[in-house]
């Protein structure tokens, strides 16, 4: 629809960004990954990645990223849906985003207090006769806080998809005698797949490299690839190995993109029907 | 479309206004244009009143920047692009910085207050003759514990941590040198050991600690111990002092088998722009009254003998934080083990961490 | 439109309570005369006084806000054009590789981004400080803008554009009158998420800053070792309240300008 000239003109900043801040860093990382600690050229870093530790880390990163994405979606979809039904929906949506502007480290410290043995949650549980429960440093607290961090990234695109949904479609479906579930699964959900997909990408991809809260909230009982990279860069100062893990993270991300990209075609044809 | 343009213009307008406000604040804080001294330090690691006092006395303007880990600080200094006149690394980092030629020698003739420093803290292995660094704060690694949550256990020995009654009660710091070092110390080995067999033994011993480990964390340990979330924690004396300030029930002990003695020293990085000013600042911080006030604010132990004289007797006679020389002789300073060995330590630590889940 | 049911309201209320709980917890302790986020001793305004007497902290806050707003704005502009380029890319495999490249910075841990940007800046000789921080924030915010804008663009019916073109609209007009209004929610979502990215970032800023320039995150993280003071809690409380007022105020002012009935029936 656009001529070559106007297209390139608009895209100059974006392509400049890709070259300078995406391709150049990738090249740099790939370059570093080929050197060992003493600066010799080697493929050892890549060999090391295929030892049990890193494979185990990869699996656990994917598992937790999957759980975080799943729960984010389960919480975000109904929230986004109900938000579209409120009177001042744009305002409510903004109110969902505002908490994410307060410093994450501070909020995490607050969660440590809230989840603590003598924190409000345990005080509440005590009322119902539960003894002091260890909430911190469990998978539950880790996933809870991660979902807390990522939830706006899931709600926003889903809200945007739902918001423009034509209500007459839903009415029509109802009039034709479809149950609420059928209306949802056959009419509403397929029309919001693009939003859901964007949300999944905005949550799943960064979840793979989560680090800080693996220590603060999970007490290092959850270790992800992000934690390992952080350690290699900052503690061991083995930039070669750190870069190698980063290269694999990027490869994993591309695989995820290819998989979700194929679904894209299906969704598009669905949407056009 | 119109509202988008309007929003964009509002943002630009707000930013210009804020720029203006910032510029005004900058000018009001005075001394704009005069020579600056840029200090690179840990956050909350100096009494801000002292910075103002230094500015008044010396006429220099202080630019204060902060870092959160030695390694990150070193990366920044090594890459250049910004000039720091003073930095405050820990001792093993100083060794590394020397190796990478990142430090400038300090001219002792410009620091007459050096006489205030206890000679015990001078001329140490990581910086012979204090050619490149001057001590700022120091401390130990030990065990902070809460007697009210325990039945009378004491921690004179590292082995006490392995007591089965402490199941799920022990917090460890997320740092390979400290945790592996504890394993080595508990077996009577040096915490600078590079002997493969000793390290293997230490790692096996640590694996037996796993059931007792509640979490492996960082600076949050302060909040957790103060809130009585756990009974015991492996930590640095500075943080232990912070905790005990908040919660008087806590106690601190350095096990007899030995432990780590650490230092944070002032250095002048290679990239320094105002070497005169850097020396003036170091000399200022070594002044007895200044050092005493700073120690009072930060709460860590100082190496400044003249300042210790001026401080509250109750603080300086506390052997947990100002241990006797005899106890100190039992402690070891970290040696720079080289990156290869550090990698080995971290690999062992990573395996230990993965075993705890 | 149907009214929201009781359970629906309860569900939303619960979500909002959870979202705001840690912030209220922080604010609660900002009034603690004891020095930390535990054991509330007695009520005090002292920490709020400390915020206003600390010029350096206020300047850091202003820096943080400027960087966040400007970087989000510029990232949104670049990101929107980027997504237009991606969506109208005819070749599918180029489009997919562009999308993958777009997401590289989202998947990369901050340390890696920070370290590689630092190397990049020192290589091309950018002076570390405001400019390098702003450029980095724009750089790592662009992908999230693209992610937020793309679904709206994909939803857009191409017949709409064709119709406009048939009616003789120029490309610029199509962009201004048809495309931008349609993807507006995506643009705003992208802008707000870019703000979030910028305000939250510690590691990248840490590496690329210098010459006295600092942001609130860098300041807070480096305090962790010796203990974060309640002054920071008080500051966060102030930021939170001011933001809340600004957002709610702006919303109602912008609503008044519009057709008041519009809200209810626009759907």
ipTM of the complex, rounded to two decimals: 0.87
Question: Between these two residues, B233 and A178, which has the higher pLDDT value?
Answer: B233
Cβ atoms C141, C71 nearer than 8 A:
yes
**Contacting residues of C for A162, CB less than 8 Å apart:** none
Same domain, B335 and B201: yes
pLDDT tens by residue, A175-209? 888 888 888 888 888 888 889 988 998 999 899 88
Q: What is the mean pLDDT of residues C198-218?
A: 90
Question: Does B88 reside within a domain?
Answer: yes
What percentage of chain C carries pLDDT values higher than 70? 94
Q: Could you tell me the pLDDT band of residue C69, with boundaries at 50, 70 and 90?
A: very high
- The residue among C174, C222, C230 with the most chain B CBs within 10 A of its CB, best to mutate, is C222
Question: Does A245 reside within a domain?
Answer: yes
Give the separation between CA A25 and CA C121, rounded to whole angstroms. 11
Same domain, B185 and B94: no
Q: Looking at chain A from residue 97 to 136, which residues have their Cβ under 8 Å from any Cβ of chain C?
A: 97-107, 109-111, 113-114, 120
- The contact set of A with B (CB < 8 A) is 37, 53, 56-57, 109, 112-113, 116-119, 134, 136-137, 215-216, 218-223, 228, 231, 234-238
CB contact under 8 A, B22 and C127: no
Q: Could you tell me the pLDDT band of residue A11, with boundaries at 50, 70 and 90?
A: confident
Q: Could you tell me the pLDDT band of residue A258, with boundaries at 50, 70 and 90?
A: confident
**Contacting residues of A for C193, CB less than 8 Å apart:** 97, 152-153, 156, 202
**Beta bridge partner(s), residue B332:** B260
Q: What is the mean pLDDT of residues B151-176?
A: 92
- Buried b vs exposed e over C228-251: b needs ≥16 C-beta within 10 Å? bbbbbbbbbbbbbeebeeebeeeb
**HSE toward the beta carbon, residue C200, CA cutoff 13 A:** 21
Domain harbouring B338, CATH code? 3.40.190.10
pLDDT value of position C87: 86
Cβ atoms A138, A112 nearer than 8 A:
no
pLDDT value of position A6: 55
**Whole-structure pTM value:** 0.90
Closest CA to C148 of A157, B50, B29: A157
Question: Does A2 reside within a domain?
Answer: no
CB contact under 8 A, B75 and C212: no
**Beta bridge partner(s), residue B301:** B138
pLDDT value of position A271: 34
| Number of other residues whose CB lies within 10 A of the CB of residue A185 | 12
pLDDT value of position C73: 96
Q: Could you tell me the pLDDT band of residue C91, with boundaries at 50, 70 and 90?
A: confident
For residue C205, give both structure tokens.
């800023």
Mean pLDDT of the residues in chain B: 91
**Beta bridge partner(s), residue B103:** B269
Distance from CA of C152 to the nearest CA of B (A): 16
pLDDT value of position A264: 45
Closest CA to C216 of C15, C59, C84: C59
Lowest mean pLDDT among A8-17, C2-11, C226-235: C2-11
Question: Does B5 reside within a domain?
Answer: no
Q: What is the mean pLDDT of residues B178-183?
A: 94
**Contacting residues of A for B227, CB less than 8 Å apart:** 113, 116-119
Question: Does B111 reside within a domain?
Answer: yes
For residue C170, give both structure tokens.
């120029």
Task: Nearest by CB to A195, from C100, C103, C151: name it.
Answer: C151
Same domain, B220 and B255: yes
Question: Between these two residues, C159 and B309, which has the higher pLDDT value?
Answer: B309
Q: What is the mean pLDDT of residues C47-53?
A: 92
**Beta bridge partner(s), residue B65:** B40
pLDDT value of position B50: 95
pLDDT tens by residue, B4-32? 888 899 899 999 999 999 888 887 765 55
- Buried b vs exposed e over B78-110: b needs ≥16 C-beta within 10 Å? bbebbbbbbbbbbbbbbbbbbeeebbbebeeee
Phi then psi for residue A20, to 5 deg, are -75, -45
Give the separation between CA C159 and CA B54, rounded to whole angstroms. 70
pLDDT at residue B243 greater than cutoff 50 = yes
CB contact under 8 A, A110 and C12: no
Closest-CA residue of chain C to A252: C107
For residue C140, give both structure tokens.
């790592």
Closest CA to C107 of A49, A209, A200: A209
Domain harbouring A221, CATH code? 1.10.3720.10
pLDDT value of position C263: 37
Q: What is the mean pLDDT of residues A168-180?
A: 82
Question: Between these two residues, A256 and A43, which has the higher pLDDT value?
Answer: A43
Task: Nearest by CB to A234, from B69, B216, B229: name it.
Answer: B69
Question: Does B12 reside within a domain?
Answer: no
Question: Between these two residues, C5 and B124, which has the higher pLDDT value?
Answer: B124
- Of all residues in chain C, what percent are helix, strand and coil, respectively (each to 5)? 80, 0, 20
Task: Nearest by CB to B44, from C73, C212, C229: name it.
Answer: C229
Q: Looking at chain A from residue 152 to 171, which residues have their Cβ under 8 Å from any Cβ of chain C?
A: 152-153, 156-157, 159-161, 163-164, 167
- Alpha carbon of B254 to those of A239, B143, B175, B304, C193: distances in Å? 35, 6, 18, 22, 48
Q: What is the mean pLDDT of residues A204-225?
A: 88
Count of CB pairs separated by less than 8 Å, B with C: 135
pLDDT value of position C260: 42
pLDDT value of position C259: 46
**Contacting residues of A for B43, CB less than 8 Å apart:** none
pLDDT at residue B72 greater than cutoff 90 = no
Question: Does A4 reside within a domain?
Answer: no
CB contact under 8 A, B14 and C225: no
pLDDT at residue A134 greater than cutoff 60 = yes
**Contacting residues of B for C181, CB less than 8 Å apart:** 1
Count of CB pairs separated by less than 8 Å, A with C: 263
**Contacting residues of B for A223, CB less than 8 Å apart:** 350, 353-354, 357
Closest CA to C114 of C129, C136, C135: C136
**Contacting residues of A for C187, CB less than 8 Å apart:** none
**Contacting residues of C for B68, CB less than 8 Å apart:** 206, 221-222, 224-225
Domain range C56-232, CATH class: mainly alpha
pLDDT at residue A167 greater than cutoff 80 = no
Residue numbers of the domain that contains A136? 51-272
Same domain, B288 and B351: no
Question: Does A26 reside within a domain?
Answer: no
pLDDT at residue C4 greater than cutoff 60 = no
Task: Nearest by CB to A53, from B175, B218, B354: name it.
Answer: B354
Question: Does B117 reside within a domain?
Answer: yes
Any idea where the domains of chain C sit in the sequence?
56-232
Task: Nearest by CB to A82, from C8, C79, C120: name it.
Answer: C8
pLDDT value of position C111: 85
Q: Pairing state of beta strands B133-145 and B232-236?
A: antiparallel
CB contact under 8 A, B71 and A109: no
Q: What is the mean pLDDT of residues C111-128?
A: 89
Q: Please work out, in degrees rounded to the nearest 5, the angle formed at the alpha carbon of residue A34 by the alpha carbons of A29 and A39.
A: 105
Residues 6+ apart with CB under 8 A from A73: A154, A196, A199, A200, A203
Instruction: Give the total number of structural domains in chain A.
Output: 1
pLDDT at residue C194 greater than cutoff 90 = yes
pLDDT tens by residue, A86-112? 889 889 999 999 999 999 989 999 999
Same domain, B61 and B175: no
Judged by phi (left if over 0) then psi (alpha if -120 to 50, else beta), residue A103 lies in beta
**Contacting residues of A for B350, CB less than 8 Å apart:** 53, 223, 228, 231
Mean pLDDT of the residues in chain C: 87
Instruction: Give the total number of structural domains in chain B.
Output: 2
Cβ atoms C68, C137 nearer than 8 A:
yes
**How would DSSP label each residue in B182-222?**
HHHHHTT--TT---HHHHHHHHHHHHHHGGGEEEEESTTHH
Cβ atoms C161, A2 nearer than 8 A:
no
Distance from CA of B63 to the nearest CA of C (A): 6
Question: Does A46 reside within a domain?
Answer: no
A78 touches chain C (CB under 8 A): yes
Same domain, B189 and B220: yes
CB contact under 8 A, C36 and B246: yes
Lowest mean pLDDT among A5-14, A53-62, A146-155, B27-36: B27-36
pLDDT at residue B287 greater than cutoff 50 = yes
**Contacting residues of A for C1, CB less than 8 Å apart:** 85, 167
Question: Does B18 reside within a domain?
Answer: no
A74 touches chain C (CB under 8 A): no
Closest-CA residue of chain B to A219: B215
What percentage of chain B carries pLDDT values higher than 70? 98
pLDDT at residue A169 greater than cutoff 90 = no
Give the separation between CA C105 and CA B173, rounded to whole angstroms. 30
Question: Between these two residues, A68 and C228, which has the higher pLDDT value?
Answer: A68
Question: Does A122 reside within a domain?
Answer: yes
Same domain, B271 and B239: no
- Alpha carbon of C241 to those of A89, A99, B71, B275: distances in Å? 20, 11, 37, 44
CB contact under 8 A, A117 and B227: yes
Residues 6+ apart with CB under 8 A from B304: B116, B117, B118, B286, B288, B291, B292, B295
pLDDT at residue B327 greater than cutoff 90 = no
**How would DSSP label each residue in chain A?**
---HHHHHHHHHHHHHHIIIIIIHHHHHHHHHTTB-TTS-B-SHHHHHHTSHHHHHHHHHHHHHHHHHHHHHHHHHHHHHHHHHTSTTHHHHHHHHHGGGGS-HHHHHHHHHHHHSTTSHHHHHHHHTT------TTSHHHHHHHHHHHHHHHHHHHHHHHHHT--HHHHHHHHHTT--HHHIIIIIIHHHTHHHHHHHHHHHHHHHHT--HHHHHTTTTSS--HHHHHHHHHHTS--HHHHHHHHHHHHHHHHHHHHHHHHHHHHHHHHHH-
Cβ atoms A178, A187 nearer than 8 A:
yes
pLDDT at residue A263 greater than cutoff 60 = no
pLDDT value of position A35: 92
CB contact under 8 A, A79 and C11: yes
CB contact under 8 A, A20 and C1: no
A251 touches chain C (CB under 8 A): no
pLDDT value of position B357: 57
CB contact under 8 A, B72 and A234: yes
Same domain, B131 and B41: yes
| Number of other residues whose CB lies within 10 A of the CB of residue B29 | 14
pLDDT value of position C159: 78
**Contacting residues of C for A75, CB less than 8 Å apart:** 15
Give the separation between CA B342 and CA B347, rounded to whole angstroms. 9
Those chains having 3 or more beta-carbon pairs within 8 angstroms of chain A are: B, C
pLDDT at residue A21 greater than cutoff 60 = yes
Rounding to the nearest 10 degrees, give the CA dihedral for residues A110, A112, A113, A114: 80
Residue numbers of the domain that contains B123? 33-136+264-323
pLDDT value of position C257: 62
């Amino acid at each position: 629809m656009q001529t070559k000239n106007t297209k390139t003109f608009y895209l100059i900043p974006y392509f400049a960004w890709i070259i300078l801040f995406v391709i150049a860093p990738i090249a740099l990382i790939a370059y570093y990954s080929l050197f060992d600690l003493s600066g010799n050229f080697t493929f050892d870093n890549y060999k090391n990645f295929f030892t049990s530790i890193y494979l185990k880390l990869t699996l656990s990163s994917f598992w937790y990223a999957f759980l975080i994405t799943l729960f984010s979606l389960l919480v975000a979809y109904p929230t986004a849906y109900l938000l579209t039904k409120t009177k001042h929906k744009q305002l409510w949506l903004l109110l969902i985003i505002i908490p994410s502007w307060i410093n994450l480290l501070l909020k995490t410290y607050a969660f440590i207090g809230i989840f603590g043995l003598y924190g409000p949650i345990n005080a509440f549980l005590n009322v119902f006769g539960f003894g002091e429960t260890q909430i911190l440093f469990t998978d539950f607290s880790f996933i809870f806080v991660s979902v807390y961090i990522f939830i706006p990234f899931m709600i926003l695109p889903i809200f945007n998809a739902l918001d423009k949904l034509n209500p007459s479609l839903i009415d029509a479906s109802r009039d034709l005698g479809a149950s609420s579930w059928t209306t949802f699964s056959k009419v509403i959900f397929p029309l919001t797949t693009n939003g859901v997909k964007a949300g999944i990408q905005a949550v799943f991809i960064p979840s793979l490299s989560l680090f800080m809260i693996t220590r603060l909230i999970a007490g290092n009982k959850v270790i992800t690839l992000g934690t390992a990279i952080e350690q290699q860069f900052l503690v061991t100062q083995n930039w070669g190995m750190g870069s190698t893990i980063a290269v694999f993270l990027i490869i994993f991300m591309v695989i995820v993109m290819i998989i979700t990209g194929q679904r894209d075609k299906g969704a598009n044809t669905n949407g056009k029907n | 479309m119109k509202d988008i343009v309007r929003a964009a213009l509002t943002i630009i307008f707000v930013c210009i206004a804020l720029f203006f406000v910032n510029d005004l604040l900058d000018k009001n804080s005075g001394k704009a244009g005069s020579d600056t001294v840029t200090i690179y330090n840990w956050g909350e690691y100096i009494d801000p009143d002292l910075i103002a006092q230094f500015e008044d006395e010396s006429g220099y303007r202080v630019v204060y920047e902060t870092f959160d880990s030695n390694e990150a600080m070193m990366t920044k200094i090594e890459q250049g692009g910004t000039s720091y006149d003073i930095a405050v690394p820990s001792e093993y980092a100083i060794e590394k910085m020397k190796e990478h030629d990142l430090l400038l020698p300090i001219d002792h003739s410009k620091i007459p207050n050096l006489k205030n420093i206890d000679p015990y803290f001078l001329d140490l292995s990581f910086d012979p003759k204090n050619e490149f660094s001057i001590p700022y704060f120091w401390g130990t690694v030990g065990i902070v514990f809460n007697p009210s949550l325990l039945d009378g256990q004491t921690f004179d020995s590292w082995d006490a941590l392995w007591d089965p009654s402490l199941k799920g009660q022990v917090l460890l710091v997320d740092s390979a040198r400290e945790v592996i070092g504890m394993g080595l110390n508990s077996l009577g080995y040096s915490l600078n050991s590079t002997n493969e067999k000793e390290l293997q033994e230490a790692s096996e011993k640590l694996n037996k600690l796993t059931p007792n480990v509640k979490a492996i964390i960082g600076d949050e340990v302060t909040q957790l111990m103060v809130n009585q979330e756990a009974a015991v924690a492996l930590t640095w004396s500075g943080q232990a002092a912070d905790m005990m300030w908040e919660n008087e029930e806590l106690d601190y002990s350095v096990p007899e088998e030995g432990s780590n003695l650490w230092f944070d020293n002032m250095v002048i990085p290679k990239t320094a722009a105002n070497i005169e000013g850097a020396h003036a600042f170091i000399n200022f911080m070594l002044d007895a009254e200044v050092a005493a006030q700073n120690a009072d604010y930060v709460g860590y132990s100082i190496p400044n003998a003249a300042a210790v004289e001026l401080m509250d007797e109750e603080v300086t006679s506390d052997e947990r934080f100002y241990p006797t020389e005899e106890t100190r002789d039992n402690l070891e300073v970290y040696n720079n083990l080289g990156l290869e060995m550090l990698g080995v330590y971290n690999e062992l630590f990573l395996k230990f961490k993965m075993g705890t889940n | 439109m149907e009214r929201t049911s009781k359970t629906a309201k309860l569900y939303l209320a619960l979500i909002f309570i959870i979202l705001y709980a840690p912030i209220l917890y922080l604010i609660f302790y900002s009034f603690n005369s004891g020095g930390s986020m535990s054991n509330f001793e007695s009520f005090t305004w002292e920490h709020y006084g400390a915020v206003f007497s600390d010029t350096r902290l206020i300047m850091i806050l202003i820096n943080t806000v400027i960087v966040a707003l400007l970087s989000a704005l510029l990232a949104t502009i670049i990101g929107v054009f980027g997504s237009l380029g991606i969506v109208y890319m005819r070749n599918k495999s180029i489009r997919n590789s562009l999308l993958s490249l777009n997401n590289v910075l989202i998947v990369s841990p901050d340390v890696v981004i920070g370290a590689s940007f630092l190397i990049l800046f020192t290589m091309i000789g950018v002076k570390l400080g405001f400019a390098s921080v702003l450029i980095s924030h724009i750089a790592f915010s662009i992908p999230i803008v693209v992610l937020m804008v793309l679904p709206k663009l994909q939803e857009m019916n191409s017949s709409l554009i064709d119709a406009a073109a048939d009616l003789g609209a120029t490309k610029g007009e199509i962009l201004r009158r048809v495309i931008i209004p349609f993807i507006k929610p995506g643009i705003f979502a992208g802008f707000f998420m870019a703000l979030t990215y910028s305000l939250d970032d510690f590691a990248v800023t840490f590496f690329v800053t210098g010459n006295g320039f600092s942001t609130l995150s860098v300041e807070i993280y480096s305090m962790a070792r010796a203990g974060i003071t309640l002054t920071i809690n008080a500051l966060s409380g102030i930021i939170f309240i001011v933001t809340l007022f600004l957002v709610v105020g702006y919303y109602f002012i912008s609503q008044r300008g519009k057709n008041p009935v519009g809200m209810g029936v626009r759907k």
